[in-house]
Amino acid sequence: MTFTLPELPYAQNALEPHISANTLSFHYGKHHQTYVTNLNNLTKDNDFSKLSLEEVIMKTAGDASKVGIFNNAAQVWNHTFYWHSMKPNGGGAPKGALSDKITKDFGGLDGFKEAFKTAGATQFGSGWAWLVLDKGTLKVTKTPNADLPMVHGQIALLTMDVWEHAYYLDYQNRRPDYITTFLEKLVDWDFAEANLLKDAV
């Protein structure tokens, strides 16, 4: 089985003016594609090529001899999840079950946003900010590099990429501005709620 670059859920210019087509052409077309290419090269002569992306991630996590496979597989997964965490005309407030859960676990949307902004802004170097479900409770976490919630027994609901290539062409070194824009203009609450409800099934 060959791993492939998943289609974007929208056109490359669909997130403008908040994330430019120029950024997406590099981030999706170059960075994400490179992770897919590297993963195929690293798995073409072993049994990992027969597994799903999630299986590759779980079987290589924490294995120093397989760190290259893990890093590329996890980054393929992380980026695909990130694209779906955003949508044109996103932002606003969550509804339904997710809204209720955020109120219960964070004291309200403002409490979540504060925690999420802090996670994104304080992730040193490259990494990710996440909204996760951890043993039935919503939490905000951050992970470095390719690390991701599934290897920590958590269910990812939403993510924001804070690697510099996610925002530098549009925001330069203003990571906090990118984070605020992500929450106010881009976040796809429907995707996050679907992930929450999927776990409840």
In this structure, how many other beta carbons lie within 10 angstroms of the beta carbon of residue 123?
Answer: 19
Alpha carbons 9 and 113: distance in angstroms, whole number: 24
> Whole-prediction pTM value?
0.95
Residue 13 pLDDT > 80, yes or no?
yes
Q: 3-class DSSP state for residue 159?
A: strand
Burial 151-170 (b: 16+ CB within 10 A, else e): beebbbbbbbbbbeebbbbb
- Asked if residue 201 has pLDDT above 60, the reply is no
How much is the average pLDDT of 104-115? Answer: 98
Tokens standing for residue 134: 């951890």
pLDDT of the residue at 200:
61
Please give the DSSP secondary-structure letter assigned to residue 71.
H
Q: How do residues 67-108 score in pLDDT, each as one tens digit? A: 999 999 999 999 999 999 999 999 999 999 999 999 999 999
Residue range 118-177, pLDDT digits in tens: 999 999 989 999 999 999 999 999 999 999 999 999 999 999 999 999 999 889 999 999
Q: How many residues does the chain have?
A: 201
Q: How many CA atoms lie within 13 A of 8 on its CB side?
A: 18
Q: Are 123 and 144 in contact (CB under 8 A)?
A: yes
